[in-house]
Structure 1
Amino acid sequence: MRVMITIQHPGHVHFFRHPIAELEARGHEVHVFARESDVAIQLLEAYDIDHEVLAGESDSLVSLAAVQATYELRLLRRARRIDPDVITAIGGVAAAHVASVTSAKSLVFYDTEHATLITKLAYPFADTISTPACYRDEIGAKQVTYPGYHELAYLHPDRFEPDPTVLEEVGLNPETSFAVVRLSSWDASHDVGHGGFDDPRAVVDRLEDAGLHVLLTAEGEPPSELASYQFETSPDRMHDLLASADVVLSEGATTAAEAAVLGTPAVYVNPLSLGYTAELEEEYGLLFEYTGDERHARGLEQAVSVIEEPAETWERRRERLLADRIDVTELVVRQVETLAQARTSGRATPVPNPDHP
Structure 2
Amino acid sequence: MRRRRDNVAGADESALRVVITIQHPGHVHFFRHPISVLRSRGHDVHVFARENDVAIELLEAYGIDHEVLAGESNGLFSLAAVQATYEMRLLRRARRIDPHVITAIGGVAAAHIASVLNTESLVFYDTEHASLITSLGYPFADVICTPACYRDELGSKQVRYQGYHELAYLHPNRFEPDRTVLEAVDLDPDDPFAVVRLSSWGASHDVGHEGFEKPARIVDRLEEAGVQVLLAAEGQPPADLKSYQFSTAPERMHDLLALADVVLSEGATTAAEAAVLGTPSVYVNPLSLGYTAELEEYGLCFEYTGRLRHARGVERAVSVLDESPATWERRREQLLEDRIDVTEFVTGQIEALAHPRTFDQPAQSVPDHP
Q: Are the aligned partners of 2:201 and 2:211 in contact in 1 as well (CA < 8 Å)?
A: no
Q: Are the aligned partners of 1:85 and 1:103 in contact in 2 as well (CA < 8 Å)?
A: no
User: Per-residue CA shift, 1:130-178, capped at 9, x if unaligned?
Assistant: 0000000000000000000000000000000001110010000011110
Match in the other structure for 2:11 = none
| 1:215 and 2:237 matched | no
| 1:354 and 2:339 matched | no
Match in the other structure for 2:178 = 163
Structure 2 unaligned regions, length at least 5: 1-15
- Alpha carbon RMSD of aligned pairs, Å? 1.2
Displacement, 1:193?
A: 1.1
| 1:298 and 2:279 matched | no
Match in the other structure for 2:197 = 182
Displacement, 1:104?
A: 1.6
Amino acid corresponding to residue 363 of structure 2 in structure 1: P
Match of residue 129, structure 1, among 140, 144, 148: 144
| 1:243 and 2:243 matched | no
SS at 1:215 equivalent: strand
Question: Against the structure 1 CA distance between its residues 195 and 38, is the aligned structure 2 distance closer, same or farther, given a 3 Å change threshold?
Answer: closer
Would you identify which runs of 4 or more consecutive aligned residues in structure 1 move more than 3 Å?
none
Q: Are the aligned partners of 1:142 and 1:351 in contact in 2 as well (CA < 8 Å)?
A: no
2: CA distance, partners of 1:60 / 1:237:
27
Q: Are the aligned partners of 1:177 and 1:211 in contact in 2 as well (CA < 8 Å)?
A: yes
Q: Are the aligned partners of 2:271 and 2:301 in contact in 1 as well (CA < 8 Å)?
A: yes
Task: Name the count of aligned residue pairs.
Answer: 350
Amino acid corresponding to residue 285 of structure 1 in structure 2: G
Displacement, 1:38?
A: 4.0
Match in the other structure for 2:51 = 36
Amino acid corresponding to residue 364 of structure 2 in structure 1: N
Match of residue 30, structure 2, among 6, 15, 22: 15
Amino acid corresponding to residue 297 of structure 1 in structure 2: A
Match in the other structure for 1:145 = 160
2: CA distance, partners of 1:352 / 1:260:
26
2: CA distance, partners of 1:38 / 1:256:
19
| 1:73 and 2:84 matched | no
Amino acid corresponding to residue 200 of structure 2 in structure 1: S
Q: Aligned ranges for residues 276-295 of structure 1 at < 5 Å?
A: 276-282=291-297, 284-295=298-309
Structure 1 unaligned regions, length at least 5: none
Amino acid corresponding to residue 307 of structure 1 in structure 2: L
SS at 2:292 equivalent: helix
Q: Are the aligned partners of 1:130 and 1:145 in contact in 2 as well (CA < 8 Å)?
A: yes
Displacement, 1:59?
A: 1.1
User: Per-residue CA shift, 1:54-88, capped at 9, x if unaligned?
Assistant: 01111122210000001001000011100000000
Match of residue 283, structure 2, among 255, 262, 268: 268
TM-score (norm 1): 0.96
Amino acid corresponding to residue 287 of structure 1 in structure 2: C
Identity of aligned residues (%): 76
Match of residue 326, structure 2, among 312, 321, 325: 312
Amino acid corresponding to residue 186 of structure 1 in structure 2: W
Match in the other structure for 1:227 = 242
Q: Are the aligned partners of 1:214 and 1:229 in contact in 2 as well (CA < 8 Å)?
A: yes
1: CA distance, partners of 2:86 / 2:278:
38
Match of residue 328, structure 1, among 342, 354, 364: 342
Displacement, 1:196?
A: 2.6
- Higher mean alpha-carbon deviation, 219-228 vs 56-65, is at 56-65
Amino acid corresponding to residue 309 of structure 1 in structure 2: E
Q: Are the aligned partners of 1:87 and 1:107 in contact in 2 as well (CA < 8 Å)?
A: yes
Displacement, 1:245?
A: 0.2
SS at 2:322 equivalent: coil
Q: Are the aligned partners of 2:61 and 2:251 in contact in 1 as well (CA < 8 Å)?
A: yes
TM-score (norm 2): 0.93
Q: Are the aligned partners of 2:24 and 2:53 in contact in 1 as well (CA < 8 Å)?
A: no
2: CA distance, partners of 1:241 / 1:168:
11
Q: Aligned ranges for residues 78-89 of structure 1 at < 5 Å?
A: 78-89=93-104
2: CA distance, partners of 1:34 / 1:130:
21
Match in the other structure for 2:267 = 252
1: CA distance, partners of 2:284 / 2:20:
31
Q: Are the aligned partners of 2:352 and 2:362 in contact in 1 as well (CA < 8 Å)?
A: no
Match of residue 3, structure 1, among 2, 5, 18: 18
Displacement, 1:112?
A: 0.2
User: Per-residue CA shift, 1:316-343, capped at 9, x if unaligned?
Assistant: 000000000000000000000011114x
Match in the other structure for 1:116 = 131
1: CA distance, partners of 2:108 / 2:362:
20
SS at 1:141 equivalent: helix
Displacement, 1:352?
A: 2.9
2: CA distance, partners of 1:245 / 1:61:
34
Displacement, 1:199?
A: 1.5
SS at 2:355 equivalent: helix
Q: Are the aligned partners of 2:348 and 2:362 in contact in 1 as well (CA < 8 Å)?
A: no
Amino acid corresponding to residue 17 of structure 1 in structure 2: R
1: CA distance, partners of 2:79 / 2:258:
34
1: CA distance, partners of 2:18 / 2:176:
28
2: CA distance, partners of 1:191 / 1:199:
19
Q: Are the aligned partners of 2:264 and 2:271 in contact in 1 as well (CA < 8 Å)?
A: yes
Displacement, 1:354?
A: 2.2
Match in the other structure for 1:340 = 354
1: CA distance, partners of 2:106 / 2:53:
19
2: CA distance, partners of 1:287 / 1:316:
14
